[in-house]
Amino acid sequence: MEKTKVIVGLGSCGIAAGGNKVFQQIKSLKEADNLDFILDKTSCIGMCFREPLVEVIDETGSYLYGEIDEKKAFEIINQHIVNQNPVKDYLVKSDLFPSEDEHFFAGQVKIALRDCGYINPERLEEYEARNGYQALKKITSEEVSKETVIQTILDSGLRGRGGGGFSTGMKWRFANKYKSDEKYVICNADEGDPGAFMDRSLLEGDPHAVIEGMIIAAYAIEATGGVIYCRAEYPLAIHRLNIALDQARKKGYLGKEIAGITGFNLDISVKEGAGAFVCGEETALMASVEGKRGMPTKRPPFPAEKGLWGKPTNINNVETYANVPWIINNGSAAYAAYGTEKSKGTKVFALTGKIKKGGLVEVPMGITIRDIIYKLGGGIANGKQFKAVQLGGPSGGCIPEHLIDTNIDYDSVNATGAIMGSGGMVVMDETTCMVDMARFFLDFTQKESCGKCTFCRIGTKRMLEILTRICDAKGEEGDIEKLEELAYQIKDSSLCGLGQTAPNPVLTTIRYFRNEYEAHIRDKKCPAKNCKPLLTYEVIPDKCTGCMVCARNCSVNAISGSRKEVHFIDQEKCIKCGICFTKCKFEAILVH
């Protein structure tokens, strides 16, 4: 019988929730009582809403415990490890006991995330034990032709998971076509939206899968060098990447004459980026790698012909590369069996916002937005009503409630005005102001503009100014039309994807929530009761008890009234801070 294992989730999400303290507590208990079990660590398994997570694997099965602190860790060790009695109250997933969170995993199909949460990402042997590097060995030992590898990826239907959705196999074929003594493969790990959480988690949890995918791509296009471009704000991902690269070199997966094949020489390095959102665009990314300012350039020539250092280059993102070894091992038909006619395989989403159970999920293409939010995510938090979902990151679009049954595939999502992006899915409820939400996302993209294109640099600034005026109760008739006109000019006149997609949040919110814009401008009201300059606070006489709590907490003395008498709010003095509303215990403050 194998020894009992205790595994602590130490991805960035787990560490932020206190995972390191839990790990040290378990380590101390193990050493103090000389307990006979294996203590190990893993990364994020997706159930971020239950971090820190601790898994116990013994002869009876697997037991995943959630929201564990040092005190609960002591109970788990004392009861489960010492007395062989699982602590049912903390279980979130188990082979033997039902849990209310089990539906979070139902319907998921893990291909890109297949090893995350199952291995220690700092141990090559654990990756190898789960078919790691078997795909590389398969194509090199059998000396599979480059064209056969490319055709396998092409037949799988794998499309780029970084946002554009271009055929990965076609991209590789283009890069293979151009001959050169130097060629490069690049992994784009610099997306700056909620989907970047997915990239970071993959790099932290299964770095070898990404590396193996890059090596296979390098074999297919005859690349001689590789770069993983990762933002410096992901120190744990970079740390584990460098460990994995060193291990791959020592094992012969990287270096000279890989797998004994003459001329197959490849090394991969990590380039730390400064976190510029525009560097998610491939030409800006390559400029940054070369030490230049990260700014996009005109295409053609495309990177496949003239990329890094002027040499043929293939660029895919983290999730795309992570899929490649699985496809080679299992065949293109197995991958294409998931998804829809034009969107094959699975997609990873970072589910966040006003959702009960947020985290990282991987689902087959074609699943509906409803199923992700209500079946996996458990529905909307705090009993609120679903209003919209922002799909595709800061440059994505807002999909309203009446389109909740939209299938998650490239064509269906694009038809709504949103984009697939790198996998950010931000859920909004009835308290979300869609005008303010558009302003929030445009504020981000406007700041991240590299400034090269006039329409992107100045146009997004003008749009942001208009949105800010509207949210500040200074909106004017014609503002909506100005926003639309500017949006289309920016989309049509910008060089890269940042400018071409930056207006999406504004256009989709105008398209689906035009009434909210009109209420802000014409009625000077915010239907979601979110924009403070548009709110009015009044005392409800029938509910006011004259307790004076609101008056005592008003910083500008805008509330008058004696004890046990109905109070009054002076609208000229009121600064709309909302303190009276939050402090009143009798729901006697009306907000409208």
DSSP letters spanning 12-50: HHHHHTTHHHHHHHHHHHHHHTT---EEEEE---S-GGG
pLDDT of residue 1: 52
Residues 182 and 316 in one domain: yes
Exposure letters 307-321 (e unless 16+ CB within 10 A, then b): bbeebbbbbbbbbbb
Q: What is the C-alpha to C-alpha distance for residues 522 and 535, in angstroms, rounded to an integer?
A: 14
Binned at pLDDT 50, 70 and 90, residue 481 comes out as: very high
Residues 565 and 477 in one domain: no
pLDDT of residue 420: 87
Please identify, among 429, 449, 472, the residue that sits at the C-terminal boundary of a domain.
429
Say which DSSP state 380 is in.
Answer: B
Say which DSSP state 568 is in.
Answer: E
Mean pLDDT confidence for 387-414: 93
Q: What is the C-alpha to C-alpha distance for residues 324 and 131, in angstroms, rounded to an integer?
A: 13
Q: What is the pLDDT of residues 438-455, one digit of tens each?
A: 999 999 999 989 999 999
Contact 527, 437 (CB under 8 A): no
292 torsion bin: left (phi>0), alpha (psi -120 to 50), beta (else): beta
SS3 content of the chain, % helix, strand, coil (to 5): 45, 15, 40
pLDDT of residue 191: 61
Q: What is the C-alpha to C-alpha distance for residues 126 and 104, in angstroms, rounded to an integer?
A: 26
Which residues, including other chains, have CB under 8 Å from residue 337's CB and lie 6 or more apart? none
Of residues 435 and 394, the one with the higher pLDDT is 435
Structure tokens at 156: 């799988």
Where residue 573 sits, what CATH number does that domain have?
Answer: 3.30.70.20
Q: What is the C-alpha to C-alpha distance for residues 126 and 122, in angstroms, rounded to an integer?
A: 9
Please identify, among 104, 133, 166, the residue that sits at the C-terminal boundary of a domain.
104
Let me know if residue 262 belongs to a domain.
yes
Say which DSSP state 439 is in.
Answer: H
pLDDT of residue 192: 54
Please identify, among 523, 547, 577, the residue that sits at the C-terminal boundary of a domain.
523
Residue whose pair of structure tokens reads 């307990």 in the numeric block: 35
Residues 331 and 365 in one domain: no
pLDDT at 194 over 50: no
Contact 99, 87 (CB under 8 A): no
Residues 451 and 490 in one domain: yes
30-44, 93-107, 189-203, 250-264: least confident range: 189-203
Let me know if residue 584 belongs to a domain.
yes
DSSP for 249-266 reads: HHHTSSBSSGGG-TT--B
At residue 589, the 3 state secondary structure works out as strand
Let me know if residue 531 belongs to a domain.
no
Q: What is the pLDDT of residues 121-135, one digit of tens each?
A: 999 999 999 999 999
pLDDT of residue 389: 96
Residues 273 and 150 in one domain: yes
The alpha-carbon radius of gyration of the chain (Å, integer) is 27
Q: Which long-range contacts (CB under 8 A, 24 or more apart) does 20-26 make?
A: 21/69, 21/70, 22/52, 22/54, 22/68, 22/69, 22/70, 22/73, 25/70, 25/73, 25/74, 26/54, 26/73, 26/77
pLDDT at 490 over 80: yes
Of residues 71 and 98, the one with the higher pLDDT is 71
Binned at pLDDT 50, 70 and 90, residue 193 comes out as: low
Residues 149 and 279 in one domain: yes
For residue 29, with 0-12 CB atoms within 10 Å meaning exposed, 13-18 middle and 19 or more buried, which class applies? buried
Mean pLDDT confidence for 193-220: 88
Count of the separate structural domains present in the chain: 5
What does residue 226 show for φ and ψ, rounded to 5 degrees? Answer: -140, 150
CA distances from 349 to 46, 58, 101, 219, 233 (A): 10, 31, 18, 29, 20
Q: What is the C-alpha to C-alpha distance for residues 375 and 254, in angstroms, rounded to an integer?
A: 42
Residues 164 and 274 in one domain: yes
Would the pTM count as exceeding 0.75?
Answer: yes
Q: What is the pLDDT of residues 57-76, one digit of tens each?
A: 999 999 999 999 999 999 99
Mean pLDDT confidence for 160-189: 93
Let me know if residue 529 belongs to a domain.
no
pLDDT at 407 over 80: yes
Q: What is the pLDDT of residues 491-513, one digit of tens each?
A: 999 988 889 999 999 999 999 99
β-pair partners for 397: 391
pLDDT at 406 over 90: yes
Instruction: Give the angle subtended at the CA of 377 by the CAs of 374 and 381, to the nearest 5°.
Output: 85
Residues 422 and 482 in one domain: no
Binned at pLDDT 50, 70 and 90, residue 198 comes out as: confident
Contact 381, 427 (CB under 8 A): no
Q: What is the C-alpha to C-alpha distance for residues 511 and 441, in angstroms, rounded to an integer?
A: 16
Q: What is the pLDDT of residues 226-272, one digit of tens each?
A: 999 998 889 999 999 999 999 999 999 999 999 889 889 999 999 99
The H or E element containing residue 564 is none
Residues 187 and 282 in one domain: yes
Residues 95 and 135 in one domain: no
Where residue 482 sits, what CATH number does that domain have?
Answer: 1.20.1440.230
Domain with 479, as residue range(s), is 434-523
Binned at pLDDT 50, 70 and 90, residue 518 comes out as: very high
Let me know if residue 113 belongs to a domain.
no
Contact 442, 463 (CB under 8 A): yes
Let me know if residue 110 belongs to a domain.
no
pLDDT of residue 393: 82
